[in-house]
Homo-oligomer: A and B are copies of this chain.
Amino acid sequence: MEPIQDFSSLVSRLRALKERKRVVVVCPNDPHTEYVIIRSLREGFADFLLVADTPHLLNAEYIRQQYPDHVKVFEASSPDVAAQEGVLLVREGHADVLMKGIINTDNLLRAVLNKEHGLLPKGNVLSHITVAQIPTYNKLLFFSDAAVIPSPTLAHLDAMIRYNVDVCRRMGIESPRVALIHCTEKVNEKFPFTLDYVTLKERAEAGEYGPMFLDGPMDAKTACDSHSGEVKGISSPVVGHADMVIFPNIIAANTFYKTLSLFGDANMAGMLQGTTAPVVVPSRADSGNSKFYSLAFACVCSDTKK
Using a CB–CB cutoff of 8 Å, the interface residues on chain A facing chain B are 134, 136-137, 146-147, 150, 181-183, 190-191, 219-222, 224-225, 228, 231-232, 247-252, 254-256, 258-266, 284-285
> With A221-B258, A284-B231, A284-B232 in contact, do A181 and B251 touch (Cβ < 8 Å)?
yes
- Assuming the A-B contacts A231-B284, A285-B228, are A264 and B259 also in contact, with contact meaning beta carbons closer than 8 angstroms in the complex? yes
25 A-B pairs with C-beta separation under 8 A: A136-B265, A150-B190, A150-B191, A181-B255, A183-B251, A183-B255, A219-B254, A220-B254, A220-B255, A221-B262, A222-B258, A222-B285, A224-B263, A225-B262, A228-B262, A232-B284, A247-B255, A248-B251, A249-B251, A252-B254, A255-B259, A259-B263, A259-B264, A263-B263, A263-B266
This chain: how many copies in the complex? 2
Known contacts A190-B150, A231-B285, A252-B251; is-contact A259 B262 (Cβ 8 Å) = no
Min Cβ gap A248→B in Å is 6
Judging by beta carbons under 8 Å apart, are A220 and B258 in contact?
A: yes
With contact pairs A251-B249, A255-B256 given, residues A263 and B261 touching in the complex (Cβ less than 8 Å)? no
Min CB distance A164 to B, Å, is 18
A260, B266: Cα distance in complex, Å: 12
Contacts of A181 in B (CB 8 A): 251, 255
- A231 to B31 alpha-carbon distance, docked (Å): 13
Chain B min CB distance to A191 (Å): 7
If A183-B146, A285-B232 touch, whether A247 touches B258 (CB-CB below 8 Å) is no
Residues of B within 8 A of A137 (CB): 263
Contacts of A254 in B (CB 8 A): 183, 219-220, 252
In the complex, A116→B205 CA distance in Å? 48
Instruction: State whether A263 touches B134 (Cβ < 8 A).
Output: yes
- Which residues of B are found within 8 Å of A265, using beta-carbon distances? 136
**A227 to B, closest residue via Cβ:** B285
Q: Which residues of B contact A284 (CB under 8 A)?
A: 231-232
A266: which B residues are within 8 A, CB to CB? Answer: 263
Residues of B within 8 A of A134 (CB): 263
Residues of B within 8 A of A150 (CB): 190-191
Q: Which residues of B contact A248 (CB under 8 A)?
A: 251
Q: Which residues of B contact A261 (CB under 8 A)?
A: 221
List, in ascending order, chain B residues with CB within 8 A of A232's CB: 284-285
Other-chain contact of A259, B191, B251, B259 (Cβ < 8 Å):
B259
Select one of B136, B183, B247, B258 contacting A219, CB under 8 A: B258
